[in-house]
Structure 1
Amino acid sequence: MKTDRRKEHKFILRLSIIACLLFLTGCWGKREVEDLAPLLGIGFDQGEKPGTFLVTEQFARPKKDSSSGAEIEDRTFSVEASSSREAFEKFSKVAYRTPFMGSLKVIIIGEDFAKSGDFNNVLDFAQRYAEFRRSMYIVLAKGKALDLLNLKLRSGLLPAMAIKSNIEGGDEISVFPTVRLGHYLTILGEKSTAPIFPVVESVKTGEGVEYKTDVKDEAGEIRIQGAGVMRGDYLADFLTDEESKGYMWLENDVVHRLINTVDLEENSIKFGGQVIESSTKYKVKANNDKMELQYKIKTSIAIDEIMGLKKQLSGPEWVELVKQAEKDFAKVIEKECNSSIKKERELGLDFLGIGRHIEQKNSKYWKTIRDQWEAEIADFPISLEVLVTIHHSGMSSSSATNSGGEGQE
């Protein structure tokens, strides 16, 4: 009896498995990887004809003589179109493989196009089309996106991959914002906050950097510096490097930072260091019958450099020097933050997200001012407190300029 039951159970199990297999759809609509053209970067510029824009796409093409699939060659096209779908149709006609949007790393918005007001119309396609991922980066170009994507870099990297690498290594210096498509779309839903994007530019030798080149008429290297502030669909203005650094402090986006006190004229001794840890918190409190946003920045810094120290210091003198370093680093941070706050007041655009902070901390008060928030920005009270702690002062308690200092035989 037991044997018959087991046979019956096995027969039912086999029959169930066969039935399941019959209902599986399989990969009828699959596309082989070899038949796809992976898209790495896409740029948008103003078109020559009214109502059009210039689209530049950079695809990856594996090198034929390469044993590694990681080595790719440049394959960049530009077309003029009146819509994103029209542009992709034109690309599909000239590409020998089907363009694949899921591999896109970065969207580059040209300066003139960002000022035209068509910016969000283009991104609407990226938001709706299923192949686009919201994790892709968005940057503004200083100049044309076309020129950036056509750069020949000395590293051999394609510009789209170089921009991606620079962005993903940005935490080491924390001087520009990182913006993904999904983050930008979220900010658009918060009407009080003005979107902000990092700015990418090409740098020729002699423009703040020197390098040797054997390529005639080479355009230069790629640098990410500063940021652009949007007013709705329009580029309102650029932030300087200092203003962008202030934004990073106030947004609590500083992971690591290289920082120095060279620009402080009141002291003969200058310090250089790196941020080990940083935290920015804020409160919304009443102050003299007015509401005020209070920022408190706490950061830990390791001293890497001391310049201008001419003598060997005693223990108490060294303690006083470290205290001076803490004050000087705090002044630099305050200067950067105040530059960013000043820019916000001048533009009347809340790229710092102050309105968002007020809404989170005191929603009842926010409802009374949100309708006239742009007018309130110019003189809304903001206070700033910066506390710096020296984590350590390096491997030496003396300076290389000391006579009789450490390291001598």
Structure 2
Amino acid sequence: METRRHQKVNRIAALILIVCLLFLPGCWGKREVEELAPLIGVGFDLGKKPGTFLITMQLAKPKQGGGESAAKIEDRTFSVEVASAREATEMVYKISSRIPFMGSLKVIVIGEGAAKAGFTDIIDFAQRFSEFRRTMYLVLTKGKAQTLLNIKLRDGELPAMSIKNHMEQGNNLSTFPTVRLGHYLTIIGSQSTAPILPVVETIKSGEDGIEYNNAKEGKELHIQGSGVLRGDHLVDYLTDKETKGYMWLENNVQNCLINTMDDKDKVSFGGQVLKSKTRYKLFDNNGVIGLQYQIQASISVDEVMGVKQQLSEPEWVDLMNQAETSYAKVIQEECEMSIKKERDLSLDFLGIGRLIDERDPSYWKTIKDQWEEKIADFPLNLNVQVSVHHSGMSSSSSTTND
């Protein structure tokens, strides 16, 4: 009797399991990898017809065959003039015979024309479609995005992958901002802060003091400076030094190289920032509210040039003290250049309004509606302190007495 009861219970349990399995989600809408074309980079330019964009899609196709070539990818880049990003996907699919897979997108390149005209409409697809990730990088180019994504690089890498690798390694030098889609959307949502994007260009041999072997076919990418936007409209560019000042003020310097001279312009110091910290605090000067930046940096002196004689230990210590003062002056000048640019543009790309709101929300409410007018003369103070952590593998000069 007991055995029959257990058998009945087991049958009911098995029936329930079978019914549950029928309602479990399966791979009904699966797509085979062989049917997909991984999308690596997208470029946005203005189209020739009013209301259209020239969208460039850089797809990756694994090379056929074994050996080393199996890990490499072929370039399949298409440009189409369309009124929407979805339309571009359809047209590229008809050409490539593979479905573009959006989840692999690494970089969005905004051409100068599209950046000046505004690109909110065309980037809406990137934030709305579920396959896209907000970790993709946004960059500007002073020419056309189509041209940048179609260049042939000397190392054979796809331009979109090269830009992605540059962005991922950006902290090693901290000379340009790395901006992801999610961060950009957060900034424009804050309204008070102006977005800033890094600028990517190609560089010819001999430009900016850089030379390379022209015999090898291809070009090189160069990331320097940045663009300031009002919402989704490009307003102006920051120089390399103005961008470095922005990095200091935004507390985005992790590692960077820095060069300077002593107070007599005879000895030069080459060094590397080991760590830095930028703090902010509001001050009240007789009822006038202002913001003070406090920058602290620890630097390793890796190179000393111009010392003509052997220095004693006290003389070497004095020289390192001069290095600290000179390094602080370089950082101060770069920050002041960035602040001057902010005042000239009346655009808060430094996020000063955001900092005021964090520290004194009630005061921010009284000035936020006139913030762009107040930027030009809002009180700002800089306090830069540099300490030389060590002076390399030598405690003195390598030169000897005559």
Structure 2: distance between partners of 1:265 and 1:165 = 39
Give the corresponding residue for 2:396.
Answer: 398
Post-superposition Cα deviations, 1:137-156, rounded to whole Å, max 9, x if no partner, equal 00001211111111111111
C-alpha deviation, 1:65, in angstroms: 2.9
Residues 310 and 10 of structure 1, relative CA distance in 2, 3 Å threshold: farther
Give the corresponding residue for 1:177: 177
Q: How does the TM-score come out when normalised to structure 2? A: 0.95
Bigger Cα displacement from structure 2, 11-20 vs 353-362: 11-20
Aligned to 1:167: 167
Call closer, same or farther: CA 1:30–1:319 in 2, change over 3 Å: same
- Residue 298 of structure 1 aligns to which amino acid in structure 2? Q
Q: CA deviation at 1:25?
A: 2.6
Partner of 1:38: 38
Alignment-derived partner of residue 407 in structure 1: none
CA-atom RMSD in angstroms: 1.8
- 2:276 aligns to what SS in structure 1? strand
Retained in 1: the 8 A contact 2:263–2:322? no
TM-score normalized by the length of structure 1: 0.94
Report the secondary structure of 2:252's partner residue: coil
- Judged with a 3 Å threshold, the aligned counterparts in structure 2 of structure 1 residues 266 and 289 are, in CA distance, closer, same or farther, namely farther
Query: Which amino acid is 2:35 matched to?
Result: D
Deviation, structure 1 residue 17: 2.9
Paired amino acid for 1:260: N
2:344 alignment partner, one of 346, 352, 365: 346
Distance 2:71 2:324 in 1: 46
2:32 matches 1:29: no
CA apart distance, 1:67: 3.5
The match for 2:369 is 371
Match of 1:112 in 2: 113
Counterparts of 1:207 and 1:10, CA distance in 2: 79
Match of 1:311 in 2: 309
2:50 counterpart residue number: 50
Deviation track 1:68-124 (CA, whole Å, cap 9, x = no partner) reads: 54310111011111221222221121111011111000000001111112x111111
Matched, 1:207 2:207: yes
Matches of 1:371 and 1:31 in 2, distance apart? 51
Counterpart Cα distance in 2 of 1:184 and 1:246: 20
Residue 311 of structure 1 deviates from its aligned partner by 1.6
C-alpha contact (below 8 Å) 1:261/1:271 kept by paired residues: yes
Query: Given that residues 56 and 78 in structure 1 are in contact (C-alpha distance below 8 angstroms), is that contact kept between their aligned partners in structure 2?
Result: yes
Does the 8 Å contact 2:313/2:396 carry over to 1? no
Q: Which has a greater percent of helix?
A: 2
3-state SS, counterpart of residue 338 of structure 1: helix
Q: Output the amino acid matched with 2:176.
A: F
Contact 1:312 1:402 in 2 (8 A): yes
Aligned to 2:323: 325
The number of residue pairs the alignment matches comes to 400
CA contact (8 A) 1:309 1:402 kept: no
1:76 is paired with a residue whose SS is strand
Partner of 2:80: 79
Inter-partner Cα distance in structure 1 for 2:393 and 2:6: 76
In structure 1, stretches of 5+ residues that fail to align are 405-409
SS at match of 1:155: coil
The corresponding residue for 1:297 is: 295
**How far does residue 214 in structure 1 lie from its aligned partner after superposition?**
2.5
Q: CA deviation at 1:128?
A: 1.0
Partners of 2:80 and 2:304 in 1: how far apart?
A: 54
User: What secondary structure sits across from 2:51 in the alignment?
Assistant: coil
Shift of 1:403: 4.1
Task: Name the structure 2 match of 1:336.
Answer: 334
